[in-house]
Amino acid sequence: MPKNINRRDFIGITGSTLSLSMVNGTSPSSATDIPNLSKQLISNLYELVDKTPFIDTHEHLPSEADRIANKNNKEKTPAPDFGMLFSHYADSDLQVSGMSDKEYKKLTSWDLSPQEKWEMLASYYDRCRNTGYLLCVRESISALYGEADLNENNCEEISQKIKDDIQPGFYRRILRDVANIEHAQINCLSSGVFRESEPATDLLSFDLSTVGIASSISKIGNLNKFSDRPIKTLKQAHETIEHIFERFGPKAISVKDQSAYGRPLLYENIKDEDIETTFKQFVQKPSLLKLEEIKAIQDNLFRKCLQCATEYKLPIKLHTGYFAGHNGMDLSRVRNNLCDLVPLIKDFPNTTFVLMHISYPYQNELIALCKHYRNVYADMCWSWIIDPASATRFLKEFLTAAPANKIFTFGGDYIPVELVPGHARIARKGITLAITQLLHEGWLNESDAPALIQRIMNQNAHETFNLPRVLKAYKA
């Protein structure tokens, strides 16, 4: 387990807390003093943030066994060469910059050599190289393969290393040894409600997904899978949801829901008796229902899930803000995400809501919600690569507005594990910058920095997500 750094260690690194004051001959303890930070202090901060292990609250990693088994399977994975590093997120920037669908397919295909792929990619790479997504590719290449940038001379060699690295234990090596991540919470996109193919461990745990069974349900079959007889009534649907939580709740680290991609987050309080008849129609022929009727069923079932999640003490992680992909975001709905959630937040005061991706680009509203509601937390997952400068500003502003226990500062949000180290590096840089700026402007005392860093990178997640409970459930 990577070691945590306490205040004494930090002072050991900096030499003394006095070093800052000595540089200027003033004490930074008064709010009116503007300290000039020494280069030494800044480099000590970088070192402290580097050494502090992240708890990673959001990834989409497939199982390592699947990655290894599918290493040479052309049907199941992008070719294991450098093109794979552009298969998640970076692909969106490349395509928005002008790369055609056909060219993108070639980039991840098994048909072209790395050299041929580079020739096709180079001009688009150049257009996007300053974005967080592309910076993340570069930082990952640097962290994993020791190369500062990708180019025509090293694309073959990097590709060979990517392929060679796909070996038993490579997840642990990349996450722990390279990225200094203590634990990662996985939202598996391919295993439906819950990933049962492997147990949670000290390295990985799994979210329970409510999208298919409640918040975005479009047919009863998804719930029928968990019922011993075909569901006909709303009561039976509720019992099935209870059964799902009974079965997976103890093993899940949290509930994850990304229904925001397909519908507004206004989950209204629909009384059971008001939709009994509609629900029976839904079971028989969902295509006959109006959109608002389907929404009412989803609203009701999702609120049932929230009751169960609360009972099992599972935090609810909700996608808010920006959409992955390109050419598809409904910005007016995104803009309303946080306003839409307020009734739910008020109706479920004992439920922990973790609002993901800082609701970008509406992150100021998220600070307001986290400051105002006891049960709302902010998760910076994905945000560092969507817009690194904004994420840095968000963290800085959050820390002087809302209690410091209300934020989780890292989730790579990646399918390929190879891109997590780059994201972790960018996040560490942003955290260091935010803390440095707060110190420099006199909003934060140097002596408070070590505990704050430990809290936002690690301790908050330990306090909010109960991994010991999960690990115990697997032993039972």
Can you give the binding site for Zn ion, defined by CB under 5 A?
Answer: 413
Min dist. Cβ of residue 413 to Zn ion (A) = 4
Min dist. Cβ of residue 406 to Zn ion (A) = 20
Reduced to 3 states, what is the DSSP secondary structure of residue 74? coil
Min dist. Cβ of residue 444 to Zn ion (A) = 30
Min dist. Cβ of residue 187 to Zn ion (A) = 6
CA-to-CA dists, residue 99 to 90, 93, 282, 307, 419, angstroms = 11, 9, 42, 46, 21
Min dist. Cβ of residue 346 to Zn ion (A) = 26
Tell me the two tokens of residue 75: 């049907």
d(Cα 154, Cα 135) in Å, to the nearest integer?
17
Min dist. Cβ of residue 325 to Zn ion (A) = 12
Min dist. Cβ of residue 100 to Zn ion (A) = 26
Tell me the two tokens of residue 11: 């002072």
Q: Is the CB of 81 or the CB of 413 nearer to Zn ion?
A: 413
Helices 39-51 and 7-14 cross at an angle (nearest 10°) of 140
Contacts of 256 (CB under 8 A, 6+ apart): 58, 187, 207, 208, 209, 210, 317
Contacts of 78 (CB under 8 A, 6+ apart): 84, 87, 108, 109
Contacts of 471 (CB under 8 A, 6+ apart): 200, 201, 202
Helical (H) or strand (E) element with 451: helix 449-454
Q: Which residue has its beta carbon closest to Zn ion?
A: 413
Tell me the two tokens of residue 145: 């393969």
Judge contact between 175 and 417, C-beta under 8 A: yes
